[in-house]
Amino acid sequence: MKYLTLLLALLCFDSVADQSIVFGVHSKTAPLEWRNNGVDQGFNIELMDRIGQLTNRRIIVRRKSFQELVADIHNPDSDIDVIAVVSPVNLGRQLSQSDPIYATHAKAYTLHGKGYINDWQDLIGKRVAIKKGAFVDVYLSGYPQEFERVDVDLYETGFQLMTQGKVDVVLAESFVARRLLPLYPGIRSGSDALIYGAFNFVANNQRNALMIEINDALRQLKLSGEYDALVNKWFGTGREKVDLTSTQKRTFALAIVISIISAIGMIFTGFVSISLRQQKRALKAELAQRLDIQRQLVSLSKQFQSVLDGIPNGVTIYSQDLQKLWSNDNNIELLSSADFHYEDGRAFNLDSVVTQVINQQTSQIEEMAHGQQFWQLQVHPITNDQVVILLEETTEAHQLRQANDEASRLASLGELSAGIAHEINNPTGLIVHSISQLQQVIADCQPAFDSYQKQNPFWLITGLAPEQALDEAYHSCNTIEEGAQRISRIVSDLKRYALPTISSEQTLVSLNEVVNVSLRLTANQIKTFQVSIQLSQPEAMVYGDAQQLQQVLINLIQNACHACEAGKGNLVIETRTKDQQAILSVTDNGCGMSRSTLARVTEPFFTTRRTVGGSGLGLSVCSRIIKAHKGELLMTSKLKQGTCIKVCLPLATKENN
| Per-residue pLDDT tens digits for 8-60 | 444 444 444 458 899 888 877 678 887 777 788 888 888 888 888 989 999 89
R_g over Cα of the chain: 61
Contact 381, 364 (CB under 8 A): no
The band of 5, judged by pLDDT with boundaries at 50, 70 and 90, is very low
> Quick one: what percent of the chain has pLDDT higher than 70?
82
Taking the C-alpha atoms of residue 172 and residue 95, their distance in angstroms, rounded to an integer, is 23
Average the pLDDT over each of 51-55, 167-171, 477-481, 630-634 and give the range with the smallest value.
477-481
Instruction: Indicate the SS3 state at residue 413.
Output: helix
| pLDDT for the residue numbered 500 | 47
**DSSP character string of 131-147:** ETTSHHHHHHTTS---S
Instruction: Please check the confidence at residue 247 and state whether its pLDDT lies above 70.
Output: no
- Interacting residues of 431 by C-beta distance below 8 A, sequence separation 6+: 480, 481, 484
Average the pLDDT over each of 265-274, 275-284, 499-508, 516-525 and give the range with the smallest value.
499-508
Pairing of the two strands 581-588 and 642-650: antiparallel
Instruction: At 329, give phi and psi (nearest 5°).
Output: 60, 25
Between the two ends of the chain, the Cα-to-Cα distance in Å is 126
Contact 581, 556 (CB under 8 A): no
Cis previous bond, 650, omega within 30:
no
Instruction: Please check the confidence at residue 273 and state whether its pLDDT lies above 90.
Output: no
Taking the C-alpha atoms of residue 260 and residue 329, their distance in angstroms, rounded to an integer, is 73
The band of 101, judged by pLDDT with boundaries at 50, 70 and 90, is confident
Q: Tens of pLDDT along 496-527?
A: 555 545 445 678 999 889 889 888 888 888 88
| Neighbouring C-beta atoms of residue 511, cutoff 10 Å | 27
Q: Tens of pLDDT along 374-429?
A: 888 888 998 888 888 888 888 777 777 766 656 555 555 555 666 676 677 668 77
| Nearest alpha-carbon partner for 189 in 112, 104, 127, 244 | 112
Contact 376, 365 (CB under 8 A): yes
Strand partners, 440: none
The band of 487, judged by pLDDT with boundaries at 50, 70 and 90, is confident
- Give the residue, 610 or 371, on which the prediction is more confident: 371
Instruction: Indicate the SS3 state at residue 276.
Output: helix
| pLDDT for the residue numbered 159 | 92
Q: Tens of pLDDT along 544-556?
A: 888 888 888 888 8
Taking the C-alpha atoms of residue 647 and residue 628, their distance in angstroms, rounded to an integer, is 12
Q: Determine the average pLDDT of the residues in 303-331.
A: 75
| pLDDT for the residue numbered 187 | 92
The band of 168, judged by pLDDT with boundaries at 50, 70 and 90, is very high
- Give the residue, 198 or 483, on which the prediction is more confident: 198
Instruction: Indicate the SS3 state at residue 646.
Output: strand
The band of 108, judged by pLDDT with boundaries at 50, 70 and 90, is very high
| pLDDT for the residue numbered 412 | 54
Mean of the per-residue pLDDT values of the chain: 80
| Nearest alpha-carbon partner for 552 in 607, 626, 608 | 626
Distance of CA 282 to the CA centre of its chain: 39
- Interacting residues of 40 by C-beta distance below 8 A, sequence separation 6+: 25, 33, 34, 61, 63
Instruction: Please check the confidence at residue 493 and state whether its pLDDT lies above 60.
Output: no
| pLDDT for the residue numbered 413 | 56
Q: Tell me 237's DSSP state.
A: S
| Nearest alpha-carbon partner for 150 in 163, 131, 176 | 131
